[in-house]
Amino acid sequence: MTANTVVGVPAETAGGERRVALVPKVVERLRAKNISVVVEPGAGSAALIPDDAYVHSGATLGDPWSADVVVKVAVPTDAEVARLRTGAVFIGFLAPLTQPERATALRAAGVTAFAMESIPRISRAQSMDALSSQANVAGYRAALLAAEHLTRFFPMLTTAAGTVPPAKVLVLGVGVAGLQALATARRLGAHTTGYDVRPEVADQVRSVGAQWLDLGIEATGSGGYARALTDDERAEQQRQLAKAITGFDAVITTAQVPGRTAPTLVTAEAVTGMRAGSVVVDLAGESGGNCELTTPGAVVVEHAVTIASPLNLPATMPEHASELYARNVAALLELLVDKDGALSLDFTDEVVAGACVTGQEV
């Protein structure tokens, strides 16, 4: 049987980006669907995947940019958009809310583009939810960073020299990343507490063995996200959090509202009140940060408290991050082709329509 659709996998060019859009196991899955895969030589090297592994899985090495479908991780640059052929399909992260010019460039190039962050949050699309898969990686790594920078043990230790109490870890924002941070910190032996303005996630916090911090402020929004707080709500939240945070050794923040500046949850006053040697790990640095003293992409020390705001944490664990992302991409690709492997874009499908940011007939 001749393959009908060719999928191209280019090497990622963004600084620090070690992930790759498809991995050999997923290439095998696509080949079984009569989809051919062309991989740029060296595309998987940063994720420690050699070219031979792709070849053995059924891919060919070559120019991925002339393919029917090009799949990437990072937002494409102008130079990369220029290499896409007219009529091609592009799949990857596109930051449509914060970088709308990317969609404009793809539209001008005649490319039908699907943004992985625009996948509708419905049960049928869970296997395509790259935001969640990568947030799991980020939450896990955030807990490890907190343990690394903290000047105290995470677990309780009973030794001949006496007993060391466990660290107390607070996670602010308990979506996928926050829940994973709580679960990982608890596995490391810490005493964990979670907080969110969405009261419906309290049971999820308790399900990973953590306590729930209730400040009496509720702000449930749409699509599983929190709504923006009013000025009065925000002031009251910051006041109560500043008081609560002083009792914790490590604070991990993950709160973000799509397309908006991240809310400030940890004020300078709160940092000042933390015990010397404590840690804040701020996962919202790309959208301004949840900590008032955050420097996005850097580790700083303020008032004897270490504040780390890593950018693109999933790229620091490229093997599993790539594997999970590749499965998300494959699930979407399988929705875009027919039983013979030919492209068949059905914009009456809510997942296809929701993820498409250019090329859809309106």
What's the CATH number where 287 sits?
3.40.50.720
Neighbours of 220 (CB within 10 A): 14
- The one catalytic residue in 121, 187, 234, 275 is 121
Residue 123 CA to residue 45 CA, distance in Å, equals: 34
Do 350 and 232 fall into the same domain?
no
Give the domain extent around 246. 138-315
Chain-centre distance of CA 328, in angstroms?
Answer: 12
Q: State the pLDDT at residue 218.
A: 77
| Annotated catalytic residue within 45, 99, 126, 207 | 126
Indicate the pairing of strand 35-39 with strand 157-159: unpaired
250 contacts 275 by C-beta, under 8 angstroms: no
Nearest to 282 by CA among 258, 270, 261, 298: 298
360 lies in a domain? Answer: no
Residue 361 lies in a domain: no
Tell me: do 158 and 307 sit in the same domain. yes
How far is Cα 44 from Cα 66, in angstroms, rounded to an integer? 19
Amino acid at 289: G
pLDDT tens for 70-122 read 999 999 999 999 999 999 999 999 999 999 999 999 999 999 999 999 999 99
| Active-site entry in 118, 132, 133, 278 | 132
Residue given tokens 């991995």 in the structure block: 23
Query: pLDDT band at 224, cuts 50/70/90?
Result: low
Active site residue 225: yes
**Tally of structural domains, the chain:** 2
Does residue 132 carry a catalytic annotation? yes
CA distance 66 to 73: 18
Query: In which element (H, E) is residue 109 found?
Result: none
Return the pLDDT at 341.
93
Catalytic position from the list 29, 36, 102, 129: 129
Q: Is 340 a catalytic residue?
A: no
